Amino acid sequence: MSEVKTKPYNGYYLKPVPEDDFLLTKVGPGTPCGEYLRRYWQPFLLSSEVKDLPLATKLLGEELVVFRDKSERLGLLHKYCAHRGVSLEFGIPAEKGIKCCYHGWNFDIDGTILDTPAEPPNSRIKENFSQGAYPVKEENGLIFAYLGPPEYLPPFPHYDIWEHPAENKLLPIRINIPCNWLQIVENGSDPIHNAYLHAIVAGQQFSKAFKVLPQLDFPMTPLGFLSMATRKVGDYIFIRSSEIALPNVGHFPNGSNGISGESFALKPLATRWAVAVDDHHSSFIGFIHKNEYNESVMQISPDECGVDKFPFIGQTADRPYADRQREPGDFDALVSPGHIANRKIEHLGTTDRGVSLARRLIAKAIRAVEKGEIPELPRLNPNGFVNSFAHEIVIKAPDFPDNPEKLALFGRQAAMAFVELSDLSPIDREKKAEVIVRDILKNIMSN
């Protein structure tokens, strides 16, 4: 059969194999992956999307309603009223909680029944039942929810890079993507696609530096790994290290760096969660970081950020189809394999190590939760922040030898300097890492 696979016009023999990747892709209640994802805070809407009326939404396969009561408190309840199943998207926000339009049952934001006005005064319904509800939190224009067991509620992951640099402004984004959440995670774990999709094949979307094929590496971080590429671009070495943090967080440096001067920057352009709406739909949701560093290579307008808006070509479905065919982007690469990519028909290569690593780490974590273990959670540093490790390094090295092994070694050692300095604030890490990286460069070039 191996000979048949390489013969011309062999489509008859290469029959599709059904997709059945249940472990990593099914996210509803009670599924292994769904139970794992429920152990983390998940952003699901922009604050600006929830106004004076309740909003029906879906998260991890559950139908829900989010609302603000007249006291401006935010609630997230099961969509269907515990009384007769009428959708609470037609509920009436009250001073405290929300009232079902059908019979006036009043639910507080925690699901407690405050009133059943049509029942007799001695009714014990309020003591015996409640409406399904989940904790929510608003942060920097995003709404987060925790859908897991309340006794395992984790601390909220406030990332250090949200406050760095001092003038950093977070612009919320949410992109609806009709595919499974894992496809978004895999995209961020695949740095070689930045060369081909964004520079060589589909159009000059990233800077010309990305036309140079890099050395790839995937060193581990406390909750995931760096998806990194190291290039020799003219007189400079350029290291771009995105961070993939379990289960679904990614921090990504700017793709517009033209490599015209040195930098040692813990200043990603985007922080995103790959949030599962259901098995077939996801949200690419998070922040664009507007600051002087990122705007030195591209202008960032708040008007370009929001629901289905992103300040970079190819991230949404808004372009004409023919234009997307001529210059595809990440959206097309994510969606075109289907709602759930059929991984049984893949033929992975050496450059797919990050994709394989992401799958292994997620599968291991899912199985740990199945065994009753508590999964690894974002770690808060002494200042109450979660450290981020996404960074880019540009360092002048005109005499660096044309040696791929040495280039890869330098890339890994330089990137790990940012990881190993995790006790420091971002600004101190940048300063200390620069000193260490320069020493690493000297050592490698002298050997």
pLDDT tens track for 339-382: 999 998 899 999 999 999 999 999 999 999 999 999 999 999 98
Q: Residue 295 domain-assigned? A: yes
> What is d(CA 159, CA 41) in angstroms, rounded to the nearest whole number?
13
* Pick from 277, 297, 298, 273: nearest CA to 285: 273
Tally helices (H) and strands (E) across the chain: 12, 20
| pLDDT, mean of residues 177-186 | 98
Of 121-125, 273-277, 288-292, the least confident: 121-125
- Give the CB-side neighbour count of residue 189, counting CA atoms within 13 A: 27
Q: Are 311 and 386 in a shared domain?
A: yes
Q: Are 123 and 166 in a shared domain?
A: no
Contact 5, 14 (CB under 8 A): yes
pLDDT higher than 80, residue 9: no
On average, the pLDDT of the chain sits at 95
Across the beta sheet with 106-107, the strand order is 92-93, 98-99, 106-107, 113-115
Q: Residue 90 domain-assigned? A: yes
DSSP 160: G
Q: Are 277 and 404 in a shared domain?
A: yes
> What is d(CA 216, CA 191) in angstroms, rounded to the nearest whole number?
7
Q: Are 64 and 124 in a shared domain?
A: yes
Q: Are 339 and 440 in a shared domain?
A: yes
pLDDT higher than 70, residue 426: yes
Q: Are 178 and 136 in a shared domain?
A: no
Q: Are 249 and 138 in a shared domain?
A: no
Q: Are 286 and 402 in a shared domain?
A: yes
Q: How many residues does the chain have?
A: 447
| pLDDT, mean of residues 409-415 | 98
| Residue labelled with tokens 């995931």 | 224
Three-class secondary structure of residue 250 per DSSP: strand
Q: List the CATH number of the domain containing 94.
A: 2.102.10.10
Q: Residue 37 domain-assigned? A: no
With bands split at pLDDT 50, 70 and 90, how would you rate the model's confidence at 5? low
Q: What is the pLDDT of residues 14-44, one digit of tens each?
A: 776 766 678 999 999 999 999 999 999 999 9
Q: Are 196 and 82 in a shared domain?
A: no
Q: Are 133 and 253 in a shared domain?
A: no
Tokens representing 147? Answer: 């859908």
> What is d(CA 8, CA 300) in angstroms, rounded to the nearest whole number?
49
Q: Residue 132 domain-assigned? A: yes
> What is d(CA 117, CA 121) in angstroms, rounded to the nearest whole number?
8
Predicted confidence at residue 429, as pLDDT, reads 96
Predicted confidence at residue 36, as pLDDT, reads 98
Q: List the domain range (segments joined by +) for residue 69.
A: 42-145
Domain count, the chain: 2
Could you tell me which residue, 440 or 15, shows the higher pLDDT? Answer: 440
